[in-house]
Amino acid sequence: MAETGRVKLYHWEPNANSGKPMLTLFEKGVAFDSHYLDLLAFDQHQPAYLAVNPLGTIPAMTHGDRVLTESTAMMEYVDDAFAGPRLMPADPVDAWRVRWWMKFMDQWLAPSFSMIGWSVFVGPSVRQRDPAELDAAIERIPMPERRVAWRKAISGAFSEEEMTESRRRVASGIGLLEQALAQREWLGSDAYSLADINGFNLAYALPLSQPQLSNDTLTPNIMRWLRAIYARPATRACWALGRTDMARRVTILEGAAA
């Protein structure tokens, strides 16, 4: 264990990338100082946060004098650095499977979920601001590729080809998730793991965003899995830190299937 002081977590809503280390901290029982950054107000590009993470990406975590970024790597750090229930299986095959799923989520599903989410939620949420103020905020973004993504989201400039490919990937991912969860209770092994935390933070909204593809009839195993994670005390505590309507969307998972 490498406990070296109080943890500070800089995050947005308790979903997607921000939710991954946040939920891991809750599952491990690690107390931390929550620093909420309003992504829609570009808090992550203000000088105070850039002093923590010069790239301006969220989440970030400090532990003593260490600064940690990249949400999936942060999850593994938390699991290794602190006491509490182990979230990475000891069995090497199960550990491989957990890492396989986390890589699949990060590289295959997350970019597609992100494009759809930015197109239908993030872009419309910020484009009502004063154009000059918005342009100045985007120019402060350190990473050029993030500036491009923000401009495309705000202007609704994701191409139909990009959106079609994102929807195809989401549909394919739903099929793989349902197949895997038909074989075992949890995603990576027979025990709750980092793969489930990673997956939940992307897939929690499937019943709302993709009801025609993910529901109790078509994907009963995904729905069982999502409800089981949402029912965990750590998940409830984590989602209580949400401040936007996104924090209420997860309540579709309340209770069992009718």
Structural domains of the chain, count? 2
Averaged pLDDT for residues 124-143? 83
Residue 38 lies in a domain: yes
Q: pLDDT for 178-229, tens place per residue?
A: 999 999 999 999 999 999 999 999 999 899 888 999 999 999 999 999 999 9
The pLDDT value recorded for residue 102 is 97
Shared domain check, 203 and 172 = yes
Of 228, 226, 222, which is closest to residue 182 (Cα–Cα)?
Answer: 222
Shared domain check, 187 and 136 = yes
Backbone angles phi, psi at 10, to 5 degrees: -105, 120
Q: pLDDT for 150-159, tens place per residue?
A: 887 778 778 8
Stated pTM of the model: 0.91
Cα(246)–Cα(240) distance, rounded to whole angstroms?
11
Q: What is the token pair recorded at 83?
A: 């006491």
Residue 87 lies in a domain: no
Using a 10 angstrom Cβ sphere, with 0-12 exposed, 13-18 middle and 19 or more buried, the burial of residue 36 is middle
Element (H, E) at 175: helix 160-181
Q: Which domain holds residue 33?
A: 7-81
Residue 32 lies in a domain: yes
